[in-house]
Structure 1
Amino acid sequence: MAMAAKKVKTSSRDSVSTLPDEVLGQILSLLPTKLAASTTVLSKRWRNLFPLVNNLDFDPFIVIYPTRTKPATGRSTYLDFMEDTLVLLRNSPIKKFSLKWSSLQNFNHIIYSVLENGVLELHLSSSVCQCLLPEFFSKTLVKLTLSNGCYYQTKLPPRGVLFPSLKTLSLFLVCFPANAPVDLNECLLASPLLEEFNICDDHPHRAGWVKQVSGSSIRRMSIFYRSHNIKDHSCFVIKTPNLVYFDYSSYVAEDYVVQFDSLVEASLDLRLWKYYDFVPPKALYYGYDPSTDSPWGDATKLIAALSNVVTLHLSADTLEVFYSCSESMPEFNNLVKLSFESHKERCWQVLPLLVKKSPNLETLVIKGLVHEITDECGDVCVHKKIKTKKMCCLLSCRVKMLKIMGMKEDGEKCNR
């Protein structure tokens, strides 16, 4: 009976409180900052745990902050809470700081305090135009993310480099004013240790990204750009001689200026304008009519710059873009692995040529076997083999491994 009582007493203990302070500090760092701060009222021990939080996340859309303002100062309690929190943690290291805001109130002093603290990761998201102070500088910052806003700066630090230790830069739905005294986009890309650069701009009705990337230190890059205005795709300039991995999704541009000297792996989702009905109103200024004219844009230079890749991933749309450049198709002598997606409304005409141009291809991955049959499919289709009695190019190539993923029936348009 005594043993049973002892077991009940043991099981009723607060198991969370038995964890070491360092572990509890890590747990609190995973919570929105307001929730983590609210634990300080639990006990004296929990008050002492809060300074161990190294990840601050201020997001008024996740945790409701009071929106009222103080009559004396006109300041929001959201801003006061951030200031009080930073004062409490002034002697504690901050590894990651995330801040979202949508008001015209100035948060520069908050950002400055965090940078002065030696933060390693900084994530800013603003729905209003934000002028960053000249003090927007840090020797320790390794990762920077700017989202949902317009950012600019009026003055650079003495040596002109904002973040000498920056390794990862991500821009999501961000624009930089063309008339700003300082080209903030260029300054960020000039970070000497920058290794990874990510762009995501899927807003259909604005130019957004400047469509220029240069940097000898960049090794990984991801670009997702979906402006529906055809004039925003006049030319893409990408000069990254040491780039190893490239992930690119956009509509075909009119021209490309590209430098890929070290590229190993690439993933492409290039789209022809003729498939999208939003083109005519925007493209009439250029005299282009997708219903009668040949496909707008030319990916010849981009495809030529990819000729040394070892691994290549293509969307169904990209296969048709490659076909539009068949006459200038380069040799892919280093290509070992090729994977592509299929779509019932996209054609495979370029596949025989692409396989022929890849003499060292070892692995072929096909994601689905549906595609639109045309008279120009060559010897890739089963229906062509039956009519012409030619061997399918997939059987005659030197591929050692063939993977077929997601095969499904689709009537007459399904080829196996």
Structure 2
Amino acid sequence: MEKTKPCTSTKRQKQNPPSVDRLSGLPDAVICQILSFLPTKRSVATSILAKRWRFLWTHVPNLDFDGENHNIINRVIMLHKVQSLTTFRLRYTYNCEDYEFETWITIAIARNVQNLDIRLDYQFMLPRCLFTCKTLVNLTLHNCVCIPSSDAVSLPSLKKLGFYSVRYQVDEALPHLLSCCPVLEELIIDGIVDTDLFCYDIFSPTIKVLNVFLFYHRFGYDPNVEIKINAPALRYLQLRDYVCKQISAQMLTSLIQANIVCCCFHDGEHDYYFQSVVKFIDSLCNVKYLKLRSDMELEPDGDFADPSECIRRFDNLTKLELVVDWRFFTKFLESADNLEILVIRKVDGSKKCNWVKPKQVPTCLLSHLRTVRIDHFGSTKHELKLVKYLLKNAKVLKRMEVYSPKHEFDFKAKFDALRKISLFQRGSEACELAFH
């Protein structure tokens, strides 16, 4: 008798049970929360999935438009039912009339929007109602104009403010706006300097994070821009300046981390700018981690405040990265007794080091400095002298790393430099030397 073969289809069903649509089994509120992570265009597209999904997107608390036609935006906003918007994002919309843009923003504000992100590739006017929105928590603006300087402004809930290529028109606009943001914690100013503005006056008793990046879109201009910072609660500062004639700050007593880039591309203001940078660095004296980069290089007998002449103590500084005139290096060695990690590098293209030997061995070398890294090492007399000094006097040093530029060093030159350094006296027997 022939044996009956088992039914393969039944076996396959047992191995691969039918899939379950778990997503449709979720409550509407949960599905809307999931859809809120999608751009609005994709969220609307889910309306074709099933009858239940047809209008779910209208209850999603976010509206995120990126490149959509103005007619689409108008229709979506008209059908959208949420009266408390979490996020309204508008990017690179085309064929948009000024009155339409103003209407969209006004509707978002009327719906108690919390996060507003507007970035267009042309300059646009802001409706006045934006600056009296009680619910805004996060505001990001690109390419806008006419920040009010005297009109009524009240943003009582705003915690994060980002300005990208924004025109302020008058100096009073920025400080006036900041004074009306009583709980602001983070401020970003990033973009092309407007010739109408002569001073970025950043005064806020509440901001904890500040990012400033200023550049100019053409060369050969007459620099007349200043940055003034008064932020006693500031904990993190990132400043990249390529245009200013002067930088100043009140004492930043709460600062923990700072990343500073100061470059001077204009003639006639070089020494004046350098002096302001030296004084500005002193206002950072409570910082724990400092990264400082500047392409400025002055003659030893120049008429300026020598950074190697210490003014402030940097008692909290534990990590320091420098790409500067090396006179700053001496300044920090003598004033940062608790320095543990040091990273230094010559200014790109510099043939000088301008290193001034401390009058006595700094305290940090005797008790705290454990790691040193020297980048872009060129094996010049002054660089070898610096390495020799550090190896000899750093009594608790655990590791020194020396990195040479590959395009400048051949194997023999690299071997000779390593041989010289390996013969230097070491104040710490535990110190490891690595040459890359």
Asked if these proteins are the same fold (TM beyond 0.5), I'd say yes
Residue 173 of structure 2 is matched in structure 1 by 183
The counterpart of 2:106, out of the listed 112, 115, 140, is: 112
Deviations 1:221-251 (A, max 9, x none): 0101112566445422111122111111113
% identical aligned pairs: 24
Equivalent-residue separation in structure 2 for 1:406 and 1:26 (angstroms): 50
- 5 Å-filtered alignment, 1:119-268, equals 119-126=113-120, 127-134=122-129, 136-153=131-148, 156=151, 160-178=152-170, 183=173, 186-201=176-191, 203=192, 210-227=199-216, 228=219, 231-251=222-242, 253-259=244-250, 260-268=252-260
Which of 302, 310, 324 aligns to 2:280? It is 302
Deviates more, 1:118-127 or 1:95-104: 95-104
Q: In the alignment, which residue of structure 1 is the partner of 2:63?
A: 56
The structure 2 residue matched to 1:361, chosen from 339, 362, 366, is: 339
> 1:205–1:137: structure 2 CA closer, same or farther, 3 Å change rule?
closer
Q: Is the 8 A contact 1:333 1:357 kept in 2?
A: yes
| SS at structure 2 position matched to 1:176 | coil
Shift of 1:372: 4.3
Contact 1:164 1:192 in 2 (8 A): yes
Partner AA of 1:34 in structure 2: K
The RMSD of aligned alpha carbons is: 4.0
Q: Which residue of 2 aligns with 1:392?
A: 389
In the alignment, the residues of structure 2 paired with residue 109 and residue 136 of structure 1 have an alpha-carbon distance, to the nearest angstrom, of 15
| SS of the residue 1:313 aligns to | strand
The gaps in structure 2 that reach 5 residues or longer are 1-7, 358-373, 418-434
After superposition, give the CA deviation of every residue in 1:267-295 in whole Å (9 maximum; x if it has no partner).
1111132xxxxx4xxx5xxxx397xxx58
Match of 1:315, SS state, is strand
AA matched with 1:141: L
How many angstroms apart in 2 are the aligned matches of 1:367 and 1:105? Answer: 50
SS in structure 2 of the partner of residue 175 of structure 1 = coil
Once the 2 structures are TM-superposed, how far is the Cα of residue 47 of structure 1 from its aligned partner? Answer: 2.1
How many residues are aligned here? 375
Please give the secondary structure, in 2, of the residue aligned with 1:111. helix
TM-score between the two structures when normalised by the length of structure 2: 0.72
Deviations 1:108-146 (A, max 9, x none): 232122122222111122423304134642222111111
**Alignment deviations for residues 68-106 of structure 1 (CA, whole Å, 9 cap, x no partner):** xxxxxxxx5145224324xx2244x32111123464422
**CA deviation string 1:371-406 (max 9, x = no partner):** 845263456986547987993236524675657597
Q: Report the secondary structure of 2:388's partner residue.
A: coil
For residue 24 of structure 1, give the secondary structure of its aligned residue in structure 2.
helix
Quick check: 1:108–1:133 contact (8 Å CA) kept in 2? no
Change (3 A) 1:405 1:43: farther
**Residues 348 and 372, structure 1, Cα contact 8 Å, conserved in 2:** no
Q: Which stretch of structure 1 is more off in the superposition, 93-102 or 402-411?
A: 402-411
The CA deviation string for residues 149-183 of structure 1, in whole angstroms up to 9 with x for no partner, is 21345984xxx44210111111011112339xx93
2:89 corresponds to 1:98? yes
Deviation at 1:252, TM superposition (A): 6.8
TM-score, normalization by structure 1: 0.75
Q: Would the alpha carbon gap of residues 375 and 59 (structure 1) be closer, same or farther in structure 2, given more than 3 Å must change?
A: closer
In the alignment, the residues of structure 1 paired with residue 317 and residue 282 of structure 2 have an alpha-carbon distance, to the nearest angstrom, of 17
Structure 1 unaligned regions, length at least 5: 66-75, 274-278
